């Protein structure tokens, strides 16, 4: 019960963060969506052994956290939940790729370990960019921005409904979990056998709740499109934001920033 309610409240915090009034929040959502898209393409296009070249890309989420006045601990906590999944994906790489690519003193490092670390770093970068985008923009604004950028309206509407019905599902799940806890004396009725019935009731309750929401929307004149009073304009600030970050991402993609900084520092120390 506590875990479901806590997850719901934690998920809603992204919507609360999106209501801020910083320089990042005031930018047109289209500029933030396009800049994040260029960032994601640049990060995922690296080869599996290019680990050091990914490190400079952390400047983007770090800058957005600072400019958007976001809680760094909250963002890092969300990223930490995803990293174990990425580690599971790449944990078998050292078994199948044992060719030594790096020598750290007496310790040989195989290509499998490097590719595994690369998967984890890329997962951290992409997830952090997605979470920060939602936190400084809001998911409804992102859907409207993607629609204005050419996404089919029906697809944008489906994404928005999917986001909204997540809260319906979690609310119904919280109520069902509380009812099961109240009817369970000690450990009775809390085993795995009761979960099939719980999931079936949860599906039916969510379906009925969604039907009531849909009928309420039709009664209020819903015609297939969401209208917003917020007016956005793609001006000079948005163009500078998009062009500046895009140029940086492309430059870091074409040239290894870590090696450049390392050679520069080494040259200064000589």
In tens, the pLDDT along 210-268 reads 788 778 878 877 776 666 666 677 888 889 999 999 999 999 888 876 666 766 666 66
C-alpha–C-alpha distance, residues 79 and 83, integer Å: 6
- pLDDT band of residue 113 (cuts 50, 70, 90) is confident
The DSSP 8-state label assigned to residue 169 in this structure reads: H
247: nearest Cα among 59, 44, 38: 38
Give the mean pLDDT of 28-57.
Answer: 89
Helix (H/G/I), strand (E/B), else coil: 150: coil
Burial 11-26 (b: 16+ CB within 10 A, else e): eeebeebbeeeeebbe
Return all residues near 4 (Cβ < 8 A) that are at least 6 apart: 170, 173, 174, 177
48: nearest Cα among 101, 10, 127, 106: 101
Give the mean pLDDT of 9-34.
Answer: 84
- pLDDT band of residue 185 (cuts 50, 70, 90) is low
């Amino acid at each position: 019960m506590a875990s479901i309610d806590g997850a719901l409240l934690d998920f809603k915090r992204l919507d609360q963060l999106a209501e801020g009034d910083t320089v990042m929040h005031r930018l047109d959502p289209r500029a933030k969506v396009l800049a994040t898209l260029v960032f994601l393409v640049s990060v995922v296009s690296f080869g599996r052994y290019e680990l050091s070249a990914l490190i400079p890309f952390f400047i983007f989420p770090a800058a957005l956290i600072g400019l958007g006045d976001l809680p760094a601990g909250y963002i890092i906590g969300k990223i930490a939940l995803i990293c174990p999944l990425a580690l599971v994906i790449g944990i078998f790489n050292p078994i199948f790729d044992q060719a030594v690519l790096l020598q750290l003193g007496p310790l040989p490092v195989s290509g499998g370990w490097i590719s595994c670390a690369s998967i984890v770093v890329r997962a951290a970068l992409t997830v952090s960019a997605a979470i920060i985008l939602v936190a400084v923009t809001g998911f409804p604004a992102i859907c409207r921005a993607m629609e204005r950028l050419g996404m089919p309206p029906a697809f944008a509407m489906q994404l928005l409904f999917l986001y909204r019905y997540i809260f319906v599902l979690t609310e119904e799940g919280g109520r069902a979990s509380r009812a099961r806890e109240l009817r369970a004396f000690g450990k009775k009725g809390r085993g795995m056998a009761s979960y099939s019935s719980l999931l079936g009731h949860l599906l039916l309750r969510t379906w009925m709740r969604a039907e009531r929401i849909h009928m309420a929307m039709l009664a209020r004149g819903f015609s297939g499109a969401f209208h917003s009073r917020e007016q956005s304009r793609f001006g000079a600030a948005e163009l500078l934001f998009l062009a500046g970050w895009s140029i940086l991402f492309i430059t870091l993609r074409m040239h290894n920033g870590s090696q450049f900084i390392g050679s520069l520092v080494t040259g200064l120390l000589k």
